Amino acid sequence: MRLKIKESFKQSDFWQNGMIFLNKLTFYQFDNLKQYFPQLESITQFITTADFLGRIKIEVIGAAGQVNRLAPADKLDATIHVLTRLASEIQTGTTEFIGTKEFKPEAIQVCVKDKTLSIVLDDTGDKEFGWGVRESRNMELILDLQGQDWYVYDENYGTVEEKYFVKFIYRDKLC
């Protein structure tokens, strides 16, 4: 499968002049979470069930007009803030390194590239990885990204969590 950056996106000011600050919340990688929660079976379980993140709600306080029109970047910042604090609480008593506050800018053109994916599709269960979001077997996830100028690639072959995240951003852009 070939995942190609849209030509229209390459013409945008964001592509030509934008920067991405790369960082990952490595604490939430499955292998690491298993050390703290040995009974954990999947990232989906960690995100959705009440035993883990499923009950967590982020309350944003401010003027109603601002709160109702939070930008995607503000929502992401709030989520990262809460998850970073939660990681610290989970790790209480440990001295593991969490991350860095220093980031070096990289040009979008350096970080985002066309890529070829080698994926073996699994027809069993409800796995989404490898299935394009246009052909998803989950009706909630179906989305045509081809005509969306805000999405870099022409398709999303990611995990169910990645597809829900893209759908979340898509819904926010329409509101």
Reported as a single tens digit per residue, the pLDDT across 88-117 is 888 875 445 566 778 888 888 888 888 887
Domain co-membership, 33 together with 71 = yes
Domain co-membership, 64 together with 89 = yes
* Phi, psi values for residue 169, rounded to 5°: -65, -45
Domain co-membership, 34 together with 4 = no
Domain co-membership, 68 together with 139 = no
* Confidence band of 17 (pLDDT split at 50, 70, 90): low
Domain co-membership, 46 together with 84 = yes
Residue 95 is predicted with a pLDDT of 46
Cα–Cα distances in Å, from 104 out to 17, 78, 101, 129, 168?
15, 22, 10, 31, 28
Tell me which of 79, 102, 125 is where a domain ends. Answer: 102
Asked, for residue 92, whether it belongs to a domain, the answer is yes
Domain that holds residue 68: 23-102
* Confidence band of 22 (pLDDT split at 50, 70, 90): very low
Percent of the chain with pLDDT over 70: 82
The pTM assigned to this predicted structure is: 0.41
Whole-number Å distance between alpha carbons of 169 and 135: 19
Rounded to the nearest 10 degrees, the angle between the axes of helix 160-174 and helix 72-90 is: 140
Domain co-membership, 74 together with 131 = no
Please count the structural domains in the chain.
Answer: 2
Residue 24 is predicted with a pLDDT of 62
CA angle in degrees (0–180, nearest 5) for 102-104-105:
140
Domain co-membership, 125 together with 165 = yes
175 pLDDT exceeds 50? no
Nearest to 105 by CA among 18, 25, 24: 18
174 pLDDT exceeds 70? no
Whole-number Å distance between alpha carbons of 157 and 160: 9
